[in-house]
Amino acid sequence: MKSGLSHIELSVLVRELQAIVKSKVEKVYQPSPDELVFNMYSSEKGKFMLKISLPNYIAVTEYKEDYPKEPSHFVMFLRKYLSNARLVSVVQPPFERVVELCFEKAGEKFITIVELFSKGNFIVCKGDYQILIPMHSQSWKDREIRPRLQYNYPPQRYDLENLDVYSFTDILNEQERDQIVKAVAKGLSLGGTYAEELCSRAEIDKTLKPSELTSEQYQLLFKKFLDMLDESKESEIEASVIYSMGKAVDVEPFPLKINAKNEKKKFESYN
């Protein structure tokens, strides 16, 4: 089954999570080192749980787990600052596998950042993005996650928000991959499933080298990419679990052409 989310899938999930905005945090638990569970309450939904499993997913759940008897220092911090806080927004920065949960308590704003890439992280910041405490302190040559530092997103090699067909073509040709599907997966941060889907929708042989595509094929691929982004942001959510040989193998938020022949079970929610 699915072990992580692409930015396409996360876009759909964040749309659904708008339903829990205005909920209040009752208590926070940490079932395992890379999991957090927020017991939440809203007048519309009643009691529910928001589970974060790093680096795989964030989801509303009704499944109750056993929690450690003694809360960790990190959980004690979360309880101090976020108990009785109200969730005021759920946002995904464009093309990022990141969710920002913004809470307010006694007139103070806290931004919690859920990183669903690499090893994952959960970072609590002030309203100005100064880090108060991260679940994991981390350091790279161009980025550092530690208390009292300013939070920054990972640097992006490409400006995917302002693409035209020419920059789109350049990005895919710069990936040094022997197949267009691999260039799409890496250059557009789509992952394997949605790279295959994009090639399928554009009716392009996924094994072609990027240099073998014509300008017309790149124009079509670009159009289908924009269409897929729009679908994740605006189209009706038609979630299904995909089966192969009787086993669940994937979950799709909207119908994918590559899964057309597979057995499916539809659900009202992607979550």
pLDDT tens digits for range 200-252: 999 999 999 999 999 999 999 999 999 999 999 988 899 999 998 889 999 99
| CB contact set of 197 (below 8 Å; sequence gap of 6+) | 228, 256, 257, 258
Nearest by Cα to 47 from 61, 57, 36: 61
Tokens 């539809």 correspond to 266
User: If pLDDT is split at 50, 70 and 90, which confidence band does 2 have?
Assistant: low
* Whole-Å CA distances, 35 to 12, 67, 68, 164: 21, 11, 12, 39
Tens of pLDDT, residue by residue over 9-35, are 999 999 999 999 999 999 999 999 999
Looking at residue 161, what is its pLDDT? 83
CA pair distance 206, 202, nearest whole angstrom? 10
Burial of 21 (0-12, 13-18, 19+ CB in 10 A): middle
The per-residue pLDDT for 69 is: 84
% helix, strand, coil for the chain, step of 5: 30, 30, 40
Mean pLDDT score, 140-161: 89
From CA 188, how far away is CA 229, in angstroms rounded?
A: 11
The residue among 260, 265, 251 whose CA lies nearest residue 56 is 251
pLDDT at 158: 80
**Whole-number mean pLDDT of the chain?**
93
Strands (DSSP E) contained in 30-97 are 35-42, 46-53, 57-61, 86-91
Per-residue model confidence as pLDDT tens digits over 33-76: 999 999 999 988 899 999 999 999 999 988 787 788 889 999 99
| DSSP code, position 84 | T
pLDDT at 169: 95
Nearest C-alpha neighbor of 92 from the set 3, 198, 184, 12: 12
End-to-end CA, the chain: 14
Is a pLDDT exceeding 70 seen at residue 260? yes
| 8 Å CB contact between 183 and 173 | yes
Q: Is the pLDDT of residue 3 over 80?
A: no
Q: How confident is the model at residue 1 (pLDDT cuts 50, 70, 90)?
A: low
